[in-house]
């Protein structure tokens, strides 16, 4: 007997120490009102219609047995499922919303497809307790076309939607998650996996989804679809959410996203200590690995980081925006990932910070000689009573003569007081604010900042629409400069920085530039090219010098401009109002003989030559820009000529004979350069 007991004890001990841990098993959860006691579905629809009596947009439909969808946003179903039974650490493999449509798409036997898009809802709402009824009796409540929460008079505080029928970007997400093409009676499905992951992990509040029509009017197609709601007596047809998930994965937490505008170039602490194992697991057995998902523009880093602990340091090689992924593995071999977004900019507290870095300012002071015609031109402009405010501000930075600064500030304040507005006005004033900051009084700083914020809030601005036009990049220039210049004095500067960097450059401009990147051309033609891209390039250079983030590295379009700008001129020179300029080919929607406009192109070219000074084409373009007699700018941009023409840059005789811009299908050819850079 003792031997048997001993044998059993030995075998039991072997099982504990030698048998591998059980493998994780995926589970499938079907959530449907009434199924196995589940009661977590809330649904209704929101109407924007008002042609019945009482108007549809005043009614609540929370207890109706259908969910009505109608074209053009007329009626929009809302649904929400309680996911509280799923552990927050779970890995969501898939999540599918299923709805049963009861309607036929059209008459006469023909089938019509109506595309129905699904969006995440961004605000809370009340299903309500009414059947197609206004909130007009004691105890009535629920969402209507006007309110996410509406109560009978005196029984609660109404909470309105952003607009009647719900506002995109405010009440529901701007971008849809998925769609289904709904025709006739039957089940239809929408992918909601990403939303379910965010809801379960607590990364996003679970306010459910809204369905909206994306087809609009279609001849022969009925305007609506009727889906079965959670109030339907036939329980099998009620809305279903089917989630496949793994509850045995750990929970990875890479820490909160971080943003600093004063990054010193040093190490950034990564913190995954918020990670933990599954319920009942062992946190001590977790292993950690970190890797770079997205680098800042121009970075040479990639792949896995050396740190293998929850807390580790990471030293980026470039300022900009980074995405780092944490992978956590538990003893079952199950993994979970999370990402942390880092925004690292290096905006100095001091001024000037736009264009005039310490090294740049030192070089400009060395060029401020009576023998330098560009300095002479700048100083003559600054010395005039009606000279440009930027010329005076730059002369102050070079000479230290406070009279220039006082005059520049006075002119800028006159511009602020002038009710007339144009696209680059705020940006030009902000340059003066930055360059003359050390001369400003507290009251003057407040005046400038008040103007910047009022300008930013004044929307919509005339013709400020994204695309190939020339107003958008000019307004973008102003947004970037007012944010960069006023940072530290203006609590709202971050709004204008984000408007430029994210809303305008990342979400719009970069996509367009990548579309035409090869060859650096511009589809709208020469003159509009210069009007649009002179401020675009100035904004990118301002961002680089003031933040350390190099947006020139975001696309090859900027560097490819070197060859494009070198070869799109005719040989020789022309004159307008006594000023020499290079005659140009007229492409696209271009005008001939606009010598003044060629100044914009020249300044843009000088900036690009400086940025890509190591490129052989930069030295060829520099030689072309330096060759007389068309080797200077007119007075209205003389401060930019002095700022960006560097006589010390190396130059070489142009050799380029052919430039093909495949992004636009533009080909330039030249037989030779017999007279050198001419």
pTM: 0.83
φ, ψ for residue 213, nearest 5 deg: -70, 140
Q: Which residues pair with 292 in a beta bridge?
A: 303, 324
- The answer on pLDDT for 8 being more than 90 is no
Among the listed residues 521, 595, 524, the one whose alpha carbon sits nearest the alpha carbon of residue 565:
521
Instruction: State the Cα–Cα distance between residues 471 and 479, nearest whole angstrom.
Output: 13
- The per-residue pLDDT for 366 is 98
Among the listed residues 289, 290, 288, the one whose alpha carbon sits nearest the alpha carbon of residue 316:
290
- The per-residue pLDDT for 17 is 29
Residues 506-538 as b or e (16 or more Cβ within 10 Å = b): eebbbebbeebbebbbbbbbbbbbbbbbbbbbb
Answer for the pair 375, 565: CB distance below 8 angstroms, yes or no.
no
Instruction: State the Cα–Cα distance between residues 242 and 250, nearest whole angstrom.
Output: 22
Tokens of 449: 């900042």
Tokens of 405: 């600064």
Instruction: State the Cα–Cα distance between residues 26 and 93, nearest whole angstrom.
Output: 9
pLDDT tens per residue across span 354-379: 999 999 999 999 999 999 999 999 99
As a whole number of angstroms, the longest Cα–Cα distance in the chain is: 118
- The per-residue pLDDT for 223 is 86
Mean pLDDT of the chain: 93
Q: What percent of the chain has pLDDT over 70?
A: 96
- The answer on pLDDT for 393 being more than 80 is yes
Instruction: State the Cα–Cα distance between residues 128 and 142, nearest whole angstrom.
Output: 3
- The answer on pLDDT for 595 being more than 50 is yes
Tokens of 579: 């000023």
In order of their start, the domains of the chain are 27-246 (no CATH), 258-344 (2.60.40.10)
- The per-residue pLDDT for 2 is 29
**Cβ-based neighbour number of residue 663 at 10 Å:** 21
pLDDT tens per residue across span 243-302: 999 999 999 999 999 999 999 999 999 999 999 999 899 999 999 999 999 999 999 999
**What are the helix (H) ranges across 368-507?**
373-383, 389-399, 402-417, 425-435, 442-457, 471-486, 493-498
> Cα–Cα–Cα angle for 449, 452, 457, nearest 5°?
125
Instruction: State the Cα–Cα distance between residues 549 and 542, nearest whole angstrom.
Output: 10
DSSP 505: I
Among the listed residues 344, 238, 359, 320, the one whose alpha carbon sits nearest the alpha carbon of residue 506:
320
User: How do the residues of the chain divide into helix, strand and coil, expressed in percent and rounded to 5?
Assistant: 35, 20, 45
- The per-residue pLDDT for 466 is 95
* CA-based radius of gyration for the chain: 32
């Amino acid at each position: 007997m003792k031997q048997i007991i001993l044998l059993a004890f030995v075998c039991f001990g072997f099982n504990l120490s030698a048998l591998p841990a059980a493998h994780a098993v995926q589970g499938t959860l079907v959530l449907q009102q009434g199924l196995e006691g589940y009661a977590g579905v809330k649904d209704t629809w929101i109407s924007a219609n008002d042609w019945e009596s009482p108007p549809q947009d005043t009614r609540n439909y929370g207890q109706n047995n259908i969910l009505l969808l109608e074209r053009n946003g007329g009626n929009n179903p809302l649904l929400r499922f309680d996911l509280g039974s799923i552990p927050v650490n779970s890995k969501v493999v898939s999540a599918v919303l299923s709805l049963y449509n009861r309607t036929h798409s059209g008459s006469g036997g023909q089938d019509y497809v109506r595309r129905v898009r699904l969006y995440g809802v961004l605000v809370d709402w009340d299903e309500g307790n009414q059947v197609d009824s206004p909130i007009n009796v004691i105890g009535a409540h629920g969402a209507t076309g006007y309110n996410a929460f509406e109560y009978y008079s005196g029984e609660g505080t109404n909470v309105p939607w952003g607009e009647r029928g719900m506002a995109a970007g405010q009440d529901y997400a701007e971008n849809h998650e998925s769609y289904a093409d709904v025709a006739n009676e039957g089940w239809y499905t929408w992918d909601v996996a990403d939303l379910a992951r965010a809801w379960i992990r607590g990364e996003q509040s679970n306010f459910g989804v809204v369905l909206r029509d994306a087809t609009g009017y279609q001849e022969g197609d009925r305007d609506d679809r009727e889906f079965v709601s959670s109030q339907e007596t036939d329980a099998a047809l009620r809305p279903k959410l089917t989630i496949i998930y793994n509850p045995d994965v750990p929970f990875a937490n890479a820490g909160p996203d971080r943003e600093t505008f004063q990054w010193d170039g040093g190490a950034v602490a990564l913190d995954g200590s918020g990670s933990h194992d599954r319920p009942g697991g062992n946190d001590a057995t977790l292993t950690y690995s970190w890797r770079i998902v997205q680098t800042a523009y121009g970075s040479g880093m990639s792949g896995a980081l050396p740190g293998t602990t929850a807390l580790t340091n990471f030293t980026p090689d470039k300022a900009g925006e980074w995405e780092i992924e944490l992978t956590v593995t538990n003893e079952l071999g199950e993994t979970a990932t999370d990402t942390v977004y880092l925004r690292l900019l290096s905006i100095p507290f001091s001024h000037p910070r736009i264009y005039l870095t310490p090294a740049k300012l030192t070089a400009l002071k060395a060029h401020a000689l009576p023998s330098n015609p560009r300095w002479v031109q700048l100083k003559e402009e600054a010395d005039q009573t009606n000279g440009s405010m930027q010329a005076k501000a730059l002369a102050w930075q070079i000479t230290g003569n406070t009279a220039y600064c006082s005059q520049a500030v006075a002119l800028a304040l006159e511009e602020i007081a002038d009710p007339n507005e144009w696209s680059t006005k705020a940006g030009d004033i902000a340059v003066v604010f930055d360059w003359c900051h050390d001369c400003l009084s507290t009251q003057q700083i407040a005046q400038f900042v008040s103007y910047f914020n009022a300008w930013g809030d004044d929307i919509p601005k005339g013709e400020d629409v994204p695309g190939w036009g020339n107003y958008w990049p000019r307004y973008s220039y102003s947004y970037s400069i007012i944010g960069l210049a006023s940072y530290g004095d203006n609590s709202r500067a971050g709004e204008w920085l984000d408007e430029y960097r994210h809303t305008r450059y990342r979400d719009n401009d970069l996509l367009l530039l990548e579309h035409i990147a090869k060859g650096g051309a511009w589809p709208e033609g020469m003159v509009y090219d210069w009007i649009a891209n002179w401020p675009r390039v100035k904004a990118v250079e301002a961002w680089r010098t003031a933040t350390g983030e190099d947006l020139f590295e975001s696309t090859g379009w900027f560097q490819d401009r070197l060859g494009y700008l070198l070869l799109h001129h005719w040989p020789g020179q022309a004159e307008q109002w006594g000023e020499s300029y290079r005659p140009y080919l007229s492409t696209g929607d271009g005008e001939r003989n606009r010598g003044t406009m060629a100044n914009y192109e020249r300044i843009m070219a000088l900036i690009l030559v400086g940025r890509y000074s190591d490129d052989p084409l930069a030295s060829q373009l520099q030689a072309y820009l330096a060759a007389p007699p068309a080797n200077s700018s007119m007075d209205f941009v003389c401060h930019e000529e002095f700022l960006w023409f560097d006589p010390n840059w190396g130059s070489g005789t142009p050799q380029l004979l052919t430039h093909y811009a495949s992004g636009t299908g533009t080909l330039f050819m030249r037989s030779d350069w017999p007279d050198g850079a001419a």
